[in-house]
Structure 1
Amino acid sequence: MSEQTPNTGSLQIYLRLLTYVKPYTAYFALSLVGLAIFALSQPAFAKLLEYFVQALEGESINLLSGLGYDIPALWLIPGMMVGIALIRGIGSYLGSFYLSKVANSVIHDLRTSMFNSMIALPNEFFDNNNSGHLIARVTYNVSQVTAAATSAIKIAVREGLTVVFLLGFLFYTNWKMTLIFIAALPVIALVVSFASDRFRRISRNIQNSMGDLTHVTSESINGYREVRGFGGEKYESDRFMAASATNTRQSLKLSKADAVHTPVLQFIVSIALALLLFMVLWVKGDASTAALVGYVTAAALLPKPIRQLSEVNASIQKGIAAAESIFAMVDEVPEANTGEYTCDRVKGNLEFKDVCFTYPGASSPALQDINFTVEPGKTYALVGRSGSGKSTLASLVPRFYNHTGGDILIDGTPLNAFELKNLRSHIALVSQNITLFNDTVARNIAYGALSETAEEEDIRLAAEAAHAMEFIKDMSNGIHTMVGEDGVLLSGGQRQRLAIARAVLKDAPILILDEATSALDTESERHIQAALNEIMKGRTTLVIAHRLSTIENADCILVMEQGRIIERGTHSELLANGEHYAKLHKMQFHEEAPILDPVTA
């Protein structure tokens, strides 16, 4: 997948992130109050040192005299130290906890929004984007936003307010000397701006390389049998090493940029501080020693928050780059669902009128001039060589892809007029590529919307109809046994039967069988074919078949070649014609004929 490089500025991205903060405004305000209290403790500490020097020089401290209290400095200054520490602790708790609460809630909403957007995207999106990059967006990229939205924002707000309050104290104490000190700010801003751009650019590269790393790992895990069976261990190790090395190089670039950025910034601040100390010693004026000590202390407290702000900048820029990627996913155009027509149950009259379809970016059409009508309860079979367009045609019915020409109608209503979820509720699909979830047998049969209405007895009956109870009854927990990731604990035939049971339970008026018996042995196929023949009764059925023996009883067989229907008729009619279907049948008959040894012959 080619990662997008959005041009959205940092401010716009943060403003968009703030829209996710709106539901938690009260908590966010409370956290800001806490962080402000914490930041105020810094100039308060500088002022406390001023009072301490006054007390050492024998001056009286009339801090509370206006309130009628005259507390000796011996007790007042230590008491103020404890009070500042207590208030600082309360502010730190309020700021840290409630900002973390807001940030984690925002991340949850953002992650949910991204996932909900992803599962509503059209098939073309998943065809054009590899799973590794998508998984990296949901996991790694979101974790980067989490870091930017929790610890990074906490430091940014807390230390930012600390800098503001310390500068305010410096201006209040001696504004002339402070003007000299802040002359370094434009240089600091320039360094931060340059570093921010570099941090964002490198962070995008890190996210891309992390997507590649996830992709290689995912493929190696999912295809571990092929890796071992074809001796691909070294090849996969080399792929992983190359992806990991790229990720490492980008991470080191980020560390290098951060390592240079922070000391440069500290050096600039130290020069400004040295200049300030020179001015204090050179132009003391009428200021008391206590006031100057307080002033220099406040100035000396500035480098630490500025340094922390510079260090947190890298995390914030990584979060911005990750947020760009997440918002790119959220902003993807969802699957078109403009239809409004709904009905409880269609009769199942399926009609194709001059249907054409071309895959996005393809130079030639995958389907051309498809015309046929399947009456309710009838079975039509699609046969042909691999790549002839059979599965593509079947994918148009549930609108996994939208036809680009002609029209497809169910009971006279165009597919595009149906509300998408309602349309798919009328269609049951069993494909050759079975997807099972890491859940129980029962939940895999009663998956999705079926789980809301199906009773346990209904699930058992569906499993029996698909001849699945033959192996389910021998499992440790029956239909409540876990099947493992993608049904790894089941054989191919068992997985196929669960998929058929799922279709039986759905009880849809239109049934699509895409190589539904391809993973079964001959014995299992006989059982499953009997089950399929039973559930096909009264349903409009499209069968995509590789084994021609399984479709001999179809009401009509459509022979496809290069996206066109080149022959149609019943099994006996097509054999009598002696053309394409007859040749396919003869070829397959010879392939499947048993090989006899000479003695038997």
Structure 2
Amino acid sequence: MPLQSQTWSNLRQLLSELPRRRLRLLVFVLLASLLQGLVDVFLVALLARLVGLIAGARVEDYLPGIRVFGGGLLDQSSWLVGLLIAAFWLASMIRFGVSLMQSLLCADVWNDFVNKVYGNLVCQKYDFFVRQRTANLSEKFNRILNGISTGVISPLLLIAGNLVSVVVLLVGVVAVLGLKALAMFALILFAYVLASKVVTPYLRLASKQRIRYSRRINLLLMESLRSMREVQLYAAEKYFISRFSRDGLIAKRYDRIDRLLPDVPRLVIEPAAITVLFLVGLVPALTMGDAEAVRSAIPSLAAVLVGMLRISAPLQAMFRSVNRLRGGLPQIEDALELLSLKPVRYLIDSPGVPTPEGVMPRRFIQLKDVSFSYAPDAKQVIQGVNLTVPIGSRIALVGRTGSGKSTLAHLMLGLFQPTSGELLLDGIAVTDQEVPAWQANCAFVPQSIRLIDGSIRDNVAFGCDPEDVDDDLVWGALEAAQFDDYVSGMNYGLYTLIGENGIKLSGGQRQRLSLARAFFRGAKLLVLDEATSALDNKTENNVMQALDIVGRRCTTVVIAHRLSTVKKCDLIYEVEAGRIVHSGDFDSLCASSSSFRDMALIEEG
């Protein structure tokens, strides 16, 4: 079938992503599985010989060297019992070793895939993350972490290892005991495959439904926890509890079926195998009343019985692994999508990337004839913009919501690449190789702040090794952001934990912490996107005074709706529908732009 062909093609492609050293280790695991099968064959042969001796039956010596057990019954039995005990211990140790190697190999493969995917993700350009839904990326990444490791790689290793052991054991037992054993094993395997075929459709349905409802539960959990304020205000607790309970009950029901069905073939086959074994191997002799034939059959029956028990566990493991693999195969396409991502963004330490000082302009930053759209077939949100920012100046971007102010800031920061036009530094176009060096000179304080679940110190010195952080610089940044007094009053000072995304702080405190992060960076270009919108007038005034001191050491771009924030700016650009419609200082814009004048009048009340 084409689907199957595509699935196996995807599987081969996934395995091709593995380093060669992992494939060498896989070969070693298979060789260990081969040894495990050989030891099991040796066990069966020894047991057949021992039972034959005890029963007084003549056993054909199919294995070379079997005649070393000379002497009387007691001598031979003593040798065989000793060897059997040693062989059982050896088989258990080898089985443990194979399982350990499989687990280690699976963990190494997990680490290889995860590191590669994460490395590929962080080396994508920023517009990649704008186009993608973060929840989708996170969900796919978690699927790489868990699904591919436990649903594809681990089952493959188990199938390969157990298949080698089963084949070696079957061939060995048939070689020792002859065609009668082959016929019995063939019947048992046929019955096992038949039972598996009957169970598999129900197992597949249960697995699919379990995954479906588990995803619904996870989505419901995330949505309700993220919206807890609204849940409580709208008294929606019962609604979410009811949905969670209902979906959880259904998921648990399918989970029970998913766990039970893989054991059904074994529960059916083991008694069926015993029935076949005695019907074929013992009943004919019993019906004929031939005591010698009964004694002769006992060693073979014992050997086949032990062989069946030794094969039963690997077969069951293979059946479980095949079904886990079937459940994991659909996830391969998403895994390959992330694994196939190529790093397209230079890092600051990539070869050929200049120093931040080497690209820092001395005269101006310029957007020249810049247009931009979020997708090739999408409408242009920036259209033919020409914008110049003199070094050391403070400029402002004002305009209605959705006019393109933040997008222009992202273009200046090198986060977006223009659809047409150029970002120029002192008249020289910025190349992809120079973008990391340019961004090392920049800091950005967004309106929608993202803080890490750590301490005040961790957030101010974002991305820095804690051992390399100078606390004096952290306090200086907090002072500039008018946040030092509050932090010094905390029980643990800089080491106070702020919770997930700063949940333990107010909106204004989170904004000041974000400002401190920007000040700590010592950036040459500081972009403030509604960075003071959550501050009261007094605190905003204090922060702007700090900017007068700190900001004159850098170039500042302010995006604001409150015109009081931009009064002291050297130059103001008014943005409308992705275009610069007016520019000038505050007074000249009030005189020349009716829309700017209206905004000023509305704010003055």
Shift of 1:479: 1.5
Aligned to 2:411: 396
| 1:5-404 matched pairs, under 5 angstroms | 8-10=6-8, 12-13=10-11, 16-17=14-15, 20=18, 22-24=20-22, 28=26, 31-58=29-56, 66=68, 72-139=75-142, 142-148=145-151, 152=155, 155-172=158-175, 173-175=177-179, 178=182, 181-182=185-186, 210-234=214-238, 236-237=240-241, 240=244, 248=250, 256=257, 263=264, 280=281, 288-289=296-297, 292-294=300-302, 296-297=304-305, 300-301=308-309, 302-337=311-346, 342-345=354-357, 346-347=360-361, 349-360=364-375, 363-404=378-419
Paired residue secondary structure (2:388): strand
Select between 520-529 and 285-294 the one with higher mean Cα deviation. 285-294
Residues 134-164 of structure 1: per-residue CA shift (max 9 Å, x gap): 4334445523344347874565355323321
Select between 295-304 and 166-175 the one with higher mean Cα deviation. 295-304
| 1:571-582 matched pairs, under 5 angstroms | 571-577=586-592, 579-582=594-597
Residues 435-455 of structure 1: per-residue CA shift (max 9 Å, x gap): 111222122111114868642
Supply the RMSD in Å over aligned alpha carbons: 3.9
Change (3 A) 1:216 1:560: farther
Structure 1 unmatched ranges of 5 or more: 591-601
Change (3 A) 1:296 1:205: closer
Aligned to 1:483: 498
> Aligned pair 1:553/2:553, yes or no?
no
Residues 19-54 of structure 1: per-residue CA shift (max 9 Å, x gap): 536435676566445544443343333323321232
Cα distance between partner residues in 2 of 1:392 and 1:241? 43
Code of the aligned partner of 1:330: L
Cα distance between partner residues in 1 of 2:78 and 2:584? 105
Aligned to 2:520: 505
Paired residue secondary structure (1:86): helix
Select between 40-49 and 294-303 the one with higher mean Cα deviation. 294-303
Select between 365-374 and 226-235 the one with higher mean Cα deviation. 226-235
Cα distance between partner residues in 2 of 1:528 and 1:433? 18
Are 2:50 and 2:77, in contact at CA under 8 Å, matched by a contact in 1?
no
Residues 476-506 of structure 1: per-residue CA shift (max 9 Å, x gap): 1221222222112222222212211211121
Cα distance between partner residues in 2 of 1:515 and 1:422? 25
Equivalent of 1:462 in 469, 474, 477: 477
Change (3 A) 1:128 1:87: same
Select between 281-290 and 121-130 the one with higher mean Cα deviation. 281-290
Cα distance between partner residues in 2 of 1:50 and 1:371? 91
> Aligned pair 1:516/2:531, yes or no?
yes
Are 1:42 and 1:298, in contact at CA under 8 Å, matched by a contact in 2?
no
Cα distance between partner residues in 1 of 2:314 and 2:44? 15
Cα distance between partner residues in 2 of 1:548 and 1:380? 13
* Percent sequence identity over aligned pairs: 25
Cα distance between partner residues in 1 of 2:574 and 2:12? 57
Cα distance between partner residues in 1 of 2:4 and 2:188? 33
Change (3 A) 1:234 1:263: closer
Paired residue secondary structure (1:382): strand
Code of the aligned partner of 1:110: F
Paired residue secondary structure (2:431): helix
Change (3 A) 1:177 1:77: closer
Change (3 A) 1:336 1:239: farther
Select between 16-25 and 373-382 the one with higher mean Cα deviation. 16-25
Cα distance between partner residues in 2 of 1:200 and 1:321? 12
Are 1:38 and 1:88, in contact at CA under 8 Å, matched by a contact in 2?
yes
Structure 2 unmatched ranges of 5 or more: none
Query: TM-score, with normalisation over the residues of structure 2?
Result: 0.83
Are 2:158 and 2:321, in contact at CA under 8 Å, matched by a contact in 1?
yes
> Aligned pair 1:446/2:455, yes or no?
no
Equivalent of 2:422 in 392, 402, 407: 407
Are 2:452 and 2:500, in contact at CA under 8 Å, matched by a contact in 1?
yes
Residues 44-65 of structure 1: per-residue CA shift (max 9 Å, x gap): 3332332123212446899665
Are 1:182 and 1:272, in contact at CA under 8 Å, matched by a contact in 2?
no
Paired residue secondary structure (1:360): coil
Cα distance between partner residues in 2 of 1:127 and 1:271? 59
Residues 254-285 of structure 1: per-residue CA shift (max 9 Å, x gap): 76577567646876898788667655469889
Change (3 A) 1:303 1:503: closer
Are 1:39 and 1:158, in contact at CA under 8 Å, matched by a contact in 2?
no
Paired residue secondary structure (2:600): helix
| 1:426-445 matched pairs, under 5 angstroms | 426-445=441-460
Cα distance between partner residues in 1 of 2:390 and 2:356? 19
Are 2:57 and 2:299, in contact at CA under 8 Å, matched by a contact in 1?
no
Shift of 1:568: 1.2
Are 1:133 and 1:215, in contact at CA under 8 Å, matched by a contact in 2?
no
Are 1:552 and 1:571, in contact at CA under 8 Å, matched by a contact in 2?
yes
Cα distance between partner residues in 2 of 1:199 and 1:401? 48
Shift of 1:547: 0.8
Cα distance between partner residues in 1 of 2:560 and 2:167? 74
Select between 533-542 and 506-515 the one with higher mean Cα deviation. 533-542
Shift of 1:323: 4.4
Select between 516-525 and 230-239 the one with higher mean Cα deviation. 230-239
Change (3 A) 1:190 1:581: farther
Residues 299-342 of structure 1: per-residue CA shift (max 9 Å, x gap): 63344532332123222333444444333222235554499552
Shift of 1:242: 7.5
Paired residue secondary structure (2:356): coil
Cα distance between partner residues in 2 of 1:207 and 1:398? 42
Cα distance between partner residues in 1 of 2:242 and 2:338? 30
Are 2:203 and 2:261, in contact at CA under 8 Å, matched by a contact in 1?
no
How many residues end up aligned between the 2 structures? 583
Query: TM-score, with normalisation over the residues of structure 1?
Result: 0.83
Change (3 A) 1:121 1:269: farther
